């Protein structure tokens, strides 16, 4: 069994970060015992914690997003959570997927519906055509193509205004 397989728990890969943190802690303790600078030991320990915790911060999911974000800015329509996607072949309406196009996916709006999406952080807006179904993540209402997301300055999952 490889080292990678030994970290698996019930089909899910466990993060090697706790082992990494313990290893760094032990290394820092050994180096601190041989030197007269405990402040350097604390600095290296803090740096090791920062490196391992920032890796965990990038793996936050939608549950973290909904727990730590609220809609903000003026919206004359409806505040919704939007994501964006850049891969696919055909949409649910049968059209070829164009990642640079101004289209979007919505679970219930009819195909061909035009929706204006505004980024409340910078006020930029774009009109998209609904040509796909989804997103199928609870709480996320709109899935923009990369082109539409780029047009409004959206770089991550965020609250937008939908008219």
pLDDT in tens, 100-140: 999 999 999 999 999 999 999 899 999 999 999 999 888 88
Please check whether the domain covering 66-162 is classified as CATH 2.40.40.10: yes
The gap between the terminal CA atoms of the chain, to the nearest Å, is 55
pLDDT in tens, 139-152: 889 999 999 999 99
DSSP 64-84: HHHHH----S--SSEEEEEEE
Average pLDDT, rounded, for the chain: 76
Cα–Cα distance for residue pair 154/137, rounded to 1 Å: 18
Cα–Cα distance for residue pair 81/79, rounded to 1 Å: 7
Instruction: Enter the pTM of the model.
Output: 0.61
């Amino acid at each position: 069994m490889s080292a990678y397989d030994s970290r698996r728990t019930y089909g899910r890969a466990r993060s090697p970060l706790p082992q990494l943190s313990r290893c760094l802690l032990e290394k820092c303790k050994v180096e601190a015992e041989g030197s007269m600078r405990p402040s350097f030991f604390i600095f290296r320990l803090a740096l090791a914690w920062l490196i391992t915790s920032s890796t965990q911060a990038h793996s936050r999911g939608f549950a973290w997003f909904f727990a730590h974000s609220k809609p903000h800015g003026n919206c004359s329509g409806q505040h919704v959570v939007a994501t964006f996607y850049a891969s696919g072949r055909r949409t649910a309406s049968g059209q070829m997927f164009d990642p640079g196009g101004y289209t979007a996916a919505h679970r219930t709006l009819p195909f061909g519906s035009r929706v204006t999406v505004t980024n409340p952080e910078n006020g930029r807006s774009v009109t998209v055509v609904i040509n796909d179904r989804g997103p199928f993540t609870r709480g996320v209402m709109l899935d923009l193509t990369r082109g539409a997301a780029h047009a409004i300055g959206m770089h991550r999952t965020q609250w937008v205004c939908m008219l």
